[in-house]
Amino acid sequence: MNTDQSTIALNRFSRTLTQEVSNPAAQAMLYGVGLTEEDMQKPQIGIASTGYEGNTCNMHLNGLSVYVKQGIQSSGLIGLIFNTIGVSDGMTNGNDGMRYSLPSRDLIADSIESVVAAQWYDGVVTVVGCDKNMPGAIMAMARLDRPGIMVYGGTIRSGHYKGQKLDIVSAFEALGRKYANNISDEDFKGVVQNAIPGAGACGGMYTANTMASSIEAMGLSLPFSSTYPATHEGKQEECKKIGAAMRLLLERNITPKEIITRKSLENALTIVMALGGSTNAVLHYLAIARAAGIRLTIDEIQEISDRTPLLADLKPSGKYYMEDMLAIGGVPAVTKYLYQNGFIHGDCLTVTGKTVAENLEEAADLNFETQKIVFPLDKPIKPTGHIQILRGNLAPTGSVAKITGKEGLKFEGVAKVCEHESEIIEALSKGEILPGQVIVIRNAGPKGGPGMSEMLKPTSAIMGAGLGDKVALITDGRFSGGTHGFVVGHVTPEAFEGGPIALVQNGDRITIDATTRELTLHISDEELAYRKSEWQQPAPLFTKGVLGKYIRSVKSASEGCVTDEE
Ligand code: FES
């Protein structure tokens, strides 16, 4: 706690507006929005929602924010809802839209920071639901360092078609099957029309559920926030409990920087590894750590991966969906199991005002007789984490691979270079993607893309075409949490900056080796130097607007793609 409880004014920020005689305009506006004289004494909590109607990840968040507000008001606080942007990756339609996705994380962080600081709110609740919204919200909360809680909008329920459970990735994979002529037009339509049954974030252990689970483990959302599906009654109940939790945080002056510590970041990343989470978590935790003033490196993430077994059989590489976790005790039960076996730091503070260990006293025990989603530690799916940091002459400053072991630990093949994500879709439809190729998709990095697009469409299409275990893919872009297969992303330095990935030519031999953690381009140093001497940096695709600013400010993927550092 930051100060002695007896000295804390719960409205220590908002009182500047509500109590000082020199702020009549602000007070007039607050009376104008309906506050009473009594309300003017109360702490003010900004409720930041990324809700909007256009996609299922975010469509229900404004509604949840109303429940949050009710809980806040009934705890003697003032809740004031505001909105910020959110981009749904599932609706970005390839690079042109997708290049705005990762930048949106930092825009969300900037927006929440701006409103909460400018309007003198005493605390903030973020109600968020899609991949970038959560890290954006946490980055803002860390920068502001005022009492704060994140509410996850919740996972989606599964869709169904002809007895098959479906989710967003099913739609992309159906496209791959369409290219391979092994799905009828009727069934393709059936999958697309039934994959998404309503509100909620994509249902596997993709990026949204990865971030929600790990942020809960880090202590910044209430227990079970990541497990309740969006449409489950528990989600509304969670929202209503936020008021009491926020009051406690204000009274004890518990702020995000006390919760985001090296130990709690380790807890978060341990959950990412154990649950088989998204490679995007690497980017986002590098950035969250920096926002909290902690220098986390990709090599430290590798160390956590080395000591954490992959336990959960969740999609994309496994069988189950996040909604299935509810019946077995959810993320708290998994965290408890890991804590009892020494993988989780129990002494970290959380938004309940209790430690991780104290929260877990109420969690269920995993029953290994009856449930098959989480494997026991003595029989893990993989003895170490699936996220691997690879270096080598093709990625001197690092890259991130997702290796579950199902596709093997080593891949050697011949380069098939695509200068743009769209080329692979075209190549697939012409039958030019062949077994034994290492597909290199470049100019997709944070500056070159710009915006470091996800390769969801290419990887899903490769899977759908039945080539998932026959080709590998490397890119300076990134992967959706829905990606599986032999894939290496975040290759740094990126092509736009003259990284070796810019110098690969069709037919070069490439080895991806997860056992030695090397990404190797089999050409001589002299040849590599010659190609570099011939290379010319392309002109940036954008010089103005969001993407122009992003190109000028974004750091490398190995530094979390942060935009607010020199
Ligand atoms: Fe929003 Fe998947 S696209 S959670």
Q: Are 156 and 196 in contact (CB under 8 A)?
A: yes
Which residue in 229, 337, 281 sits closest to 561, CA to CA? 281
Return the pLDDT at 402: 87
Crossing angle between the packed helical segments 133-144 and 207-218, to the nearest 10 degrees: 30
DSSP letter for each residue of 470-495: T-EEEESSB--TT--SEEEE--SS-G
**88 CB within 6 A, ligand 1:** yes
In whole angstroms, what is the distance from residue 31 CA to residue 85 CA? 27
Active site residue 429: no
pLDDT score at 247:
97
d(CA 226, ligand 1 centre) in Å: 14
Kindly report the pTM of this predicted structure: 0.95
Residue 467: the pLDDT is: 85
Nearest in space to 444 (alpha carbons), one of 89, 96, 132, 130:
96
For 325, the token pair is: 């976790």
Nearest Cα neighbor of 373 from 305, 341, 326 is: 326
Q: Which amino acid is at 363?
A: A
First-to-last alpha carbon distance for the chain, in angstroms, is 31
- Ligand 1 centre to CA of 379 (Å) is 31
Strands 78-83 and 486-489, sheet pairing? unpaired
> Can you give the pLDDT at residue 7?
53
Q: Which atom of ligand 1 is nearest to the CA of 481?
A: 2
Distance between CA atoms of residues 198 and 205, nearest Å? 18
* Structure tokens, 459: 């990887």
319-358 pLDDT per residue, tens: 999 999 999 999 999 999 999 999 999 999 999 999 999 9
Would you state the pLDDT for residue 524?
A: 97
DSSP three-state, residue 214: helix
**Token pair 């806040």: residue:** 72
Q: Which two tokens stand for residue 66?
A: 């109303």
> Is the ipTM here above 0.90?
yes
Instruction: Look at residue 95 in the predicted model and tell me its pLDDT.
Output: 67
Neighbour tally for 2: CB within 10 Å: 12
pLDDT value at residue 3: 45
Determine contact, residues 246/77, Cβ cutoff 8 Å.
Answer: yes
List the beta bridge partners of residue 420.
Answer: none
Token pair, residue 495, equals: 């092509």
Pocket test for ligand 1, best of 133, 170, 202, 456 (most atoms within 8 A of CB): 202
* Half-sphere exposure at residue 112, Cβ-oriented, CA atoms within 13 angstroms: 37
Q: How far is the CA of 457 from the centre of ligand 1 (A)?
A: 14
Weakly modelled stretches of the chain, pLDDT under 70: 1-8, 93-95, 482
Rounded to an integer, what distance in angstroms lies between the CA atom of residue 242 and that of residue 503?
52
131 token code pair: 């991949």
